[in-house]
């Protein structure tokens, strides 16, 4: 009986050592995560295939291990093809009526969407002020995002200027009523 107790104790201690080694290996792997950065920095564009243009209702941001993310929320934009967008790097954020709008950072990513009003009511759908930072968006401490600006553009379009640290790879995806713009922290494949 004593031999069985000793054997069980040895097995429990060995199991604890193996679990600790696995946990340490997982922590090392997570710390040196490989980040996908093959998105490129050229313009990404989708023309809406639907006459209905869902209104912009909110913009929010988040930080991830490999990129900073901006999410634009729309009302009723989940229909495939309903959300049209144009995302590209620009030298200056400008409008014909007001000229250049200053944006801090090493590069400016311009996001063009439409509209900022609810077609059903004609009321403004996103409470932003021309040439001002995005309301409710705090990018303090972000690795890539450095500034945001809202622009009322022509023909009911909305422009969002995002000041980024440098011209870095970005991707644009749609998920339901959300347009997602991710900007990588670097051009290399590691965080």
C-alpha angle 98-99-103 in degrees, rounded to nearest 5? 105
Identify whether residues 14 and 61 lie together within a single domain: no
Percent of the chain at pLDDT > 70 equals 75
Surface-to-core class of residue 142, CB atoms within 10 Å of its CB (0-12 exposed, 13-18 middle, 19+ buried) = middle
pLDDT tens-digit map of 160-187? 999 999 999 999 999 888 999 999 999 9
Pick the residue with more confidence: 31 or 104? Answer: 104
Average pLDDT rounded to a whole number, residues 155-160: 78
Q: Are 151 and 96 in contact (CB under 8 A)?
A: no
Same domain for 77 and 159, yes or no, is yes
Please tell me the distance from the alpha carbon of residue 119 to that of residue 75, in angstroms, as a whole number. 11
Largest Cα–Cα distance of the chain, in whole Å? 90
Q: Is residue 191 part of a domain?
A: no
pLDDT in tens, 94-134: 887 778 999 999 999 999 987 777 777 777 888 899 899 99
Check whether 68 has a pLDDT greater than 80.
Answer: yes
By 3-state DSSP, what share of the chain in percent is helix, strand and coil, each rounded to 5? Answer: 15, 35, 45
Residues 27 and 50 in one domain: no
Residue 55 sits in a domain of what CATH number? Answer: 2.60.40.3500
As for how many domains the chain has, the answer is 2
2, 14, 92, 170 from 173: Cα distances, Å: 64, 47, 24, 10
**Is residue 38 in a domain?**
no
Name which residue leads in pLDDT, 20 or 163. 163
State the residue range of the domain holding 13: 1-32
């Amino acid at each position: 009986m004593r031999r069985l107790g000793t054997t069980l104790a040895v097995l429990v201690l060995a199991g604890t050592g193996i679990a600790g080694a696995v946990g340490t290996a997982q922590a090392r792997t997570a710390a040196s995560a490989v980040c996908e950065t093959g998105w490129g920095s050229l313009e990404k564009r989708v023309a809406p295939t639907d006459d209905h243009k869902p209104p912009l209702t909110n913009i929010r941001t988040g930080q991830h291990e490999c990129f900073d993310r901006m999410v634009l929320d729309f009302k009723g934009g989940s229909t495939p093809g309903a959300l049209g967008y144009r995302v590209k790097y620009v030298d200056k954020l400008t409008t014909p009526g007001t000229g250049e709008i200053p944006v801090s950072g090493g590069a400016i990513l311009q996001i063009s969407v439409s509209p900022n009003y609810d077609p059903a009511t004609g009321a403004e759908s996103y409470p932003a002020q021309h040439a001002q930072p995005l309301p409710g968006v705090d990018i303090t401490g972000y690795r890539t995002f450095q500034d945001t600006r809202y622009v009322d553009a022509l023909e009911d379009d909305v422009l969002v200027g995002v000041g980024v640290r440098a011209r870095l790879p970005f991707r644009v995806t749609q998920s339901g009523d959300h347009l997602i713009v991710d900007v990588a922290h670097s051009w290399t494949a590691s965080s």
